């Protein structure tokens, strides 16, 4: 049976841990509100951009010059580039674990094709470094606060490799933010660009030739897609961390209650034994 001193030390240790998890929960909640606002503000822009591409695709239908753009080239997927967006820190539940498992499954599923990695986030980088994966590029320190400049840099790298025929397809793997309690694991093919199907029958008049517009907007579409994924991942990471820290704080509280109850029982048993010894001693003295 542990002593009272050991139990008190353990209770103090759990209380200290509870204070840390509670503070992390509050910090994540404050950051999540801003990250969620950024995601909600970016979604309509990305959706509108997709509709514009759909209109342009309909306008240039049959134009071999436009359809021959390097970012639209379709080739057998023998060399694949996977852009994996993970977090820089842990303590976010299964946020990173699910991504790493999905990336493993992706590599197995696309065998015998060669899969190269473009890693965003320290967790993904550390994981695949230990396993000797082929890494084209890596970025850390931006998972919680990504900027459009970061997305542009990634887009230029992957678009350049695709245009130079160094890779045949580019896929994007990230966690999409659904709610505070839910994140959706998302795998999307980024290159070659799949132009959205036009849903409107409006025949637009373009001042600039549609083929030129399409050629100039395709790289922007790749940049926006990556930026949207980074924003979604940032919000999903903070939501997962807030939920995990809330659960940890609650579990710590339950453990403190159980340890306190156990400590009181041990102390009560110790006092009872002392009283019995005193009574027994007094009785023996009287006899």
- Report pLDDT digits (tens) over 198-207: 655 567 777 7
C-alpha to C-alpha distance for 181 and 256, rounded to whole angstroms: 26
pLDDT in tens, 106-125: 999 998 889 999 999 999 99
CB 233 within 8 A of CB 143: yes
3-class DSSP string for 140-177: CCCCCCCCHHHHHHHHHHHHHHHHCCCCCEEEEEEEEE
Q: Which two tokens stand for residue 273?
A: 């034994």
Q: Which two tokens stand for residue 47?
A: 């959706």
For residue 1, what pLDDT is reported? 61
Parse the chain into domains and list their residue ranges. 4-22+245-280, 35-243
- DSSP summary character for residue 16: H
For residue 284, what pLDDT is reported? 67
CB 121 within 8 A of CB 140: yes
DSSP E strands in the chain: the ranges are: 79-85, 114-120, 135-139, 169-179, 182-191
CB 173 within 8 A of CB 187: yes
Task: Tell me if residue 186 falls in helix, strand or coil.
Answer: strand
CA distances from 6 to 12, 13, 252, 255, 256 (A): 10, 11, 17, 15, 14
CB 60 within 8 A of CB 94: no
C-alpha to C-alpha distance for 2 and 262, rounded to whole angstroms: 10
pLDDT in tens, 22-50: 999 999 999 998 999 999 999 898 888 88
C-alpha to C-alpha distance for 220 and 155, rounded to whole angstroms: 9
For residue 286, what pLDDT is reported? 66
CATH number assigned to the domain with residue range 35-243, chosen from the 4 options 3.40.1380.10, 1.20.58.100, 2.60.120.1440, 3.30.460.90? 3.40.1380.10
C-alpha to C-alpha distance for 222 and 212, rounded to whole angstroms: 17
Name the architecture of domain 4-22+245-280: Orthogonal Bundle (1.10)
CB 169 within 8 A of CB 189: yes
Q: Is the predicted pLDDT of residue 127 greater than 90, yes or no? A: yes
137 burial (CB, 10 Å; 0-12 / 13-18 / 19+) is middle
For residue 173, what pLDDT is reported? 96
Model-level pTM? 0.84
pLDDT in tens, 57-111: 777 776 666 567 788 888 899 999 999 999 999 888 899 999 999 999 999 999 8
Q: What is the mean pLDDT of the chain?
A: 86
Q: Is the predicted pLDDT of residue 287 greater than 70, yes or no? A: no
């Amino acid at each position: 049976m542990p002593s009272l001193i050991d139990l008190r030390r353990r209770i103090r240790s759990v209380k200290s841990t509870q204070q840390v998890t509670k503070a992390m929960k509050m910090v994540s909640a404050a950051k999540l509100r801003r990250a969620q606002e950024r995601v909600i503000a970016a979604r309509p822009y990305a959706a509108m951009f997709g509709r514009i591409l759909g209109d342009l695709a309909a306008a240039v239908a049959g134009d071999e010059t436009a359809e021959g753009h390097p970012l639209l080239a379709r080739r057998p997927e023998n060399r694949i580039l996977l852009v994996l967006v993970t977090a820089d820190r842990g303590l976010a539940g299964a946020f990173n674990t699910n991504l790493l498992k999905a990336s493993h499954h992706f590599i197995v599923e696309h065998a015998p094709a060669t899969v190269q990695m473009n890693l965003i986030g320290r967790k993904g980088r550390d994981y695949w470094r230990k396993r000797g994966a082929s890494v084209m590029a890596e970025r850390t320190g931006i998972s919680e606060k990504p900027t459009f400049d970061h997305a542009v840099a990634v887009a230029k790298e992957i678009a350049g490799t695709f245009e130079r025929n160094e890779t045949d397809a580019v896929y994007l793997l990230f966690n999409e933010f659904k709610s505070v309690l839910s994140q959706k694991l998302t795998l999307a093919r980024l290159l070659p660009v799949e132009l959205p199907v036009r849903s409107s029958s409006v025949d637009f008049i373009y001042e600039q030739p549609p083929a030129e517009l399409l050629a100039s907007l395709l790289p922007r579409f790749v940049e926006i897609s990556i930026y949207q994924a980074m924003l979604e991942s940032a919000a999903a990471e903070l939501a997962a961390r807030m939920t995990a820290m809330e659960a940890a704080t609650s579990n710590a509280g339950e453990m403190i209650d159980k340890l306190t109850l156990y400590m009181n029982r041990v102390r009560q048993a110790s006092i009872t034994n002392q009283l019995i010894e005193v009574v027994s001693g007094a009785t023996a003295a009287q006899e």
